[in-house]
Amino acid sequence: MDHSREIRQLWVVAKSYFEEAKRLKIKRCGYLDIRLIDIMDFYENGIPMEDYQIELSLLVAHLNSAAIRLCTINERFCNDWNDRIFKYYQDELLHEQRKLEDDKHWNSDYLTKELIRNKEEYLPLMLRDEVGHMEGGERPTKEVIWQARHTAIESLKVIEVFTCMQSAIERLETKLRNKKFIS
């Protein structure tokens, strides 16, 4: 099945979310070193009242929404043309596990470091998966990956997430131009 129309539509929506995030990034440039865990903590005792807290929350929400659309485009490219834009971090981590001689090195701390080290490649998929719930499947493998992803995302600064998503948008835009989806 050809998903060309859907891909174009998803691209427009993803770009729109990213442009909103960019606008908020410029407005709140003095707060971009805040980690995502700290943004989550804004809600610890209720709804945040400070404008910068609300706008940083929105910035991250827009990046998450863009990531979801980018990942759907990724899936369509894989299904229609057997061509991936972003690597599936879970597949990569499971492949890494098979290469290690013993499982004690393959733990949440190790995986968190791997995810952070490869954040530019994995972040759109990590953000999409973080919006959902813990995956079912092979336990404890899926739980270890879930915990590592969750910890990795929480540790990132807003500017790191923005920069990785900007790179993902640029890579996808190049792919879409090369495949004549956009001009």
Q: What tens digit of pLDDT does each residue of 111-132 get? A: 999 999 999 999 999 999 998 7
CA distance 58 to 52: 10
Residue at 78 is within a domain: yes
- Is residue 70 domain-resident? yes
Tell me the per-residue pLDDT of 82-103, one tens digit each, with 9 for 90 and over.
788 888 888 888 777 777 656 6
% the chain with pLDDT above 70 = 91
Distance CA(108)–CA(118), nearest Å, equals 15
Beta bridge partners of 157: 35
DSSP assignments along 47-80, one per residue:
S--SHHHHHHHHHHHHHHHHHHHHHHHHHHHHHH
In a domain, 158, yes or no: yes
> pLDDT class for 58, splitting at 50, 70, 90?
very high
- Residue 170 domain-assigned? yes
Are the C-beta atoms of residues 121 and 171 closer than 8 Å to each other?
no
Q: Which of 54-68, 92-106, 142-156, 160-174 has the lowest mean pLDDT?
A: 92-106
Query: Given a cut of 80, is residue 150 above it in pLDDT?
Result: yes
User: How far out from the chain centre does Cα 19 lie?
Assistant: 16
Kindly state whether residue 183 falls inside one of the protein's structural domains. no
Whole-number average pLDDT of the chain: 89
Residue 36 contacts residue 153 (beta carbons within 8 Å):
yes
How many independent structural domains does the chain possess? 1
Run of H or E including 159: helix 158-178
Contact 55, 42 (CB under 8 A): no
* Per-residue pLDDT at 2: 81
Give me the domain span that covers residue 158.
4-178
Please indicate, yes or no, if residue 92 is contained in any of the structural domains.
yes
pLDDT (0 to 100) of residue 94: 79
In this predicted structure, the answer to whether residue 79 has a pLDDT above a threshold of 70 is yes
Tens of pLDDT along 128-144? 999 875 555 555 577 88
What SS3 state is found at 123? helix
The reply to whether 82 falls in a domain is yes
For residue 58, is it within any domain? Answer: yes
